[in-house]
Amino acid sequence: MAEQTMAAPSSQRIQLLKVLGPAHVWALGVGIVLVGEFMGWNYAVGKGGAYGALIACWVIGLLYTCVAMIDSEITSTVAAAGGQYAQAKHTIGPLMAFNVGLYLVLAYTMLEAGDVQVAGQLIQIGIGELGSTVDWIPFTVLSLAILAWLNYRGVFMTLTVNFVITAAAFLTIIILFIGLKPWNPHEIMRHTELLTDLPYGWLGVIAAFHFGIWFYLGIEGTCQAAEEVRSPGRALPLGTMTGIITLLIAAGLTWYVCVGMLPWEYLGWDYTLAPLFDAARVSGSTFLHVALFVGTLFSAIASANGCINDAARAWFSMGRDRYLPQWFGAVHPRYRTPYRSIVFLIPIAAIFALKVPLAQIITFSILSGLLNYTFMPINMWNFRKKWPIGSIRRGFEHPFHPLPAAVLLSLCIITFFAVYLGYGRQLLAMMFFYIIASLWFHFRRYQFVRRGDQFTMAWPKPLGY
C-alpha cells in the first residue's frame, strides 16, 4: 500500500514563496484576532451581563482551543494554501471543499470590512479629541488601499509588519492592566460596585456565546500560510498553539480591565466602539489614553492586513483548482502573491465597510466562521480514519482524539442556537445563500473540476481503498 500514492503531476506554474517562519504564523493568527479584544466582544456583555461575557469567554476559548489543536495536526500535514479548504478536498470531496472555501473567504472579508470601519472611525474620534471634525470614510478607504498594496507586494513584508504592530497592540493591553494597579483593586477599578448578577439568566449567558466568538475569531487563519512557510511541520503548530495561548491571556485581561472600569450597560451598548480605549480614557491617565488609542488602531490595521492575506489565499486556491475561474489562480511573476484575488476582493470589503453597521458585519463573519468550525470535526474524524497514526508523517499529533472534535461539534451547535436568539433572520439568510451557492457549484462549476488534480500530497491510498 505504501508504494501507491495520490500525488498530482508536477506543474511548471509560478508558485508562492516559502519564506515564513513561526513568528509570521503567530503574527497572522494573533494579528487577525487581537482586534476582538479591543472591540466587538463587548456585545456579549449586552446579551448576558459581565459574568455572562466571562463564561462565554471561557467556553468559546475551549471551542477555539479544539480548533487550534485540530488545525495544527491536519495543516502541518496538508501543507497547501487554502487552509481548511485544502483539508476538505483531501478528506471529504469537492462540494464540501467549495463550501468551506466560501466560508473562509466571507469570514475574512467581513472581518476585514469591520476592521477598516473601526480604523476609520477611531481616527475620526482621535482627531475630534484634538478639536477638529472629519469624516471617517476617507480614512477607511485609505487604510484599505494601503493594506491592499502591502499584500500585493509580498507576503514576507506583509506579515513582518503584522508581527511588529500586533506585538505592539498586545503590549498596550499589558500596559493598561499594569497601569490600573490590579494589586490594589479598589484604587482605580471598581469591580465590587460595577459587577452584577446575570441580568438575563442563563439564557442570556448562552446568547453571549454569539459575540464571545469575537475574542478568538480568525486564529484558524494560520492555516492559510501552509504553502508559504519554510517548515510546515514545525512553524504551523508552534505559531498556532502559541497564538491561542496569547489570545486566552489577552481575553482574560481585557474582560477584567473593562468590567472594572465601565458599567455593563455601557459595555453592551451597540454604539460602544472600543471598550479598552474607553477604559483608558476614564482612567484619567493621558499616557494610557494615548497608548490604547494606538493599540486599538494597530489591532484593527493588523487584523485587516491578515484578513486580506487569508481571504486572497482561499480565493486563489479555489481558482487554481478550477472551483472558480482559473483567472483567480494566478501568481504575480515578481512578487509571488495571488494578486488577482487580492484586487478582486478589496472592493467587496469596501462596500460592506462603508454601508453596513458593525454589529451586522461581525455577525456575517461569525456565521461563516461557525459553519467552517462545524465541518472541522467531520474532517478530523475522516482524516484519522483514512490515514491513521503511523500511516503518514505528521508534523503534530493532537492528544485525546476524538474528544476535541466531539467538544467542538457540541459547542458549535450551542453557539448556532445563541446566534439564532439574536440574529435568527440573518442566520437563515446566510444558510439560504450557501445553499444557493452550493447549487450553483454543483450544476454550473463542478464540470470544470479535475478530480485527479485534487490530491496534491504524496500520501498512500486511504485505508480501505
Q: Tell me the CATH number at 308.
A: 1.20.1740.10
Asked if residue 2 belongs to a domain, the reply is no
Percent composition of the chain: helix, strand, coil (DSSP 3-state, to 5): 70, 0, 25
In this predicted structure, what is the pLDDT of residue 140? 95
Q: Which of 453, 389, 401 lies closest to 80 in space, CA to CA?
A: 453
Which cell is 409 given? Answer: 461539534
At 219, list the grid cell: 486564529
Residue 83 belongs to a domain = yes
Residues sharing a CB contact under 8 Å with residue 202, sequence separation 6 or more, in sequence order: none
Alpha-carbon 261 to chain mean position: 28
With cut-offs at 50, 70 and 90, classify the pLDDT of residue 268. confident
Report pLDDT for 27. 96
User: Does the pLDDT value for residue 3 go beyond 70?
Assistant: no
- Cα–Cα distance between 155 and 152 in angstroms, integer? 8
Domains in the chain, number: 1
Position 241 in a domain: yes
Is the model's pLDDT at 184 over the cut of 50?
yes
- With a cut of 70, say whether residue 4 has pLDDT above it: no
pLDDT in tens, 168-178: 999 999 999 99
Can the peptide bond before residue 377 be classed as cis, meaning omega within 30 degrees of 0?
A: no
CA distances 340 to 48, 99, 319, 336, Å, are 43, 21, 10, 11
- Residue 202 is predicted with a pLDDT of 94
So what's the pLDDT on residue 454?
Answer: 73
Reported as a pLDDT band with limits 50, 70 and 90, residue 445 is very high
pLDDT of 375 strictly over 50: yes
* pLDDT value at residue 332: 94
Residue range of the domain that includes 196? 22-448
- Distance, in Å, from the CA atom of 107 to the CA atom of 362, rounded to the nearest integer, reads 9
| Matching residue, cell 502541518 | 76
Residue-wise pLDDT for 112-151, tens only, equals 999 999 999 999 999 998 888 899 999 999 999 999 999 9
Longest dimension (CA), the chain: 73
pLDDT, average across residues 176-205 = 90
State the average pLDDT over residues 343-363: 92
N residues, the chain: 465
Q: Cβ(315)–Cβ(296) under 8 Å?
A: no
> Cα–Cα distance between 278 and 289 in angstroms, integer?
8
Most confident listed range (8-12, 70-74, 293-297, 461-465): 293-297
For position 464, what pLDDT does the model report?
A: 67
Give Cα 236 to chain centroid, integer Å: 15
pLDDT band at 337 (very low <50, low <70, confident <90, very high): very high
* Cβ-proximal residues to 207 (8 Å cutoff; 6+ apart), any chain: 47, 48, 52, 200, 418, 421, 422
Using CA atoms, how far apart are residues 148 and 204, in angstroms rounded to an integer?
39
Percent of the chain's residues with pLDDT above 90: 71
Q: Has residue 8 got a pLDDT over 60?
A: no
pLDDT tens digits along 271-295 = 788 899 999 999 989 999 999 999 9
Distance from the first to the final alpha carbon of the chain: 10
Distance CA 338, CA 312 (A): 7
Please report the pLDDT score of residue 465 as a whole number: 63
Q: What is the DSSP string of 14-73?
A: ------B-HHHHHHHHHHHHTHHHHTTTTHHHHHHHHHHHHHHHHHHHHHHHHHHHHHHH
| Least confident residue range of 55-64, 271-280, 438-447 | 271-280
Task: List pLDDT tens digits, range 199-240.
Answer: 999 999 999 999 999 999 999 999 899 899 998 888 999 999
Residue 260 within a domain: yes
Predicted local distance difference test score (pLDDT) of residue 12? 56
Amino acid at site 229: V
Question: Measuring CA to CA, how many Å separate 246 from each of 166, 194, 294, 299?
Answer: 11, 27, 19, 14
Residue 347 lies in a domain: yes
* Mean pLDDT of the residues in the chain: 90
Q: List 460's β-bridge partners, or say none.
A: 5
pLDDT confidence of residue 83: 85
pLDDT surpassing 50 at residue 29: yes
Would 8 be classed as within a structural domain?
A: no
Cell of 301: 490595521
The 10s digit of each residue's pLDDT in 299-319 is 999 999 999 999 999 999 999
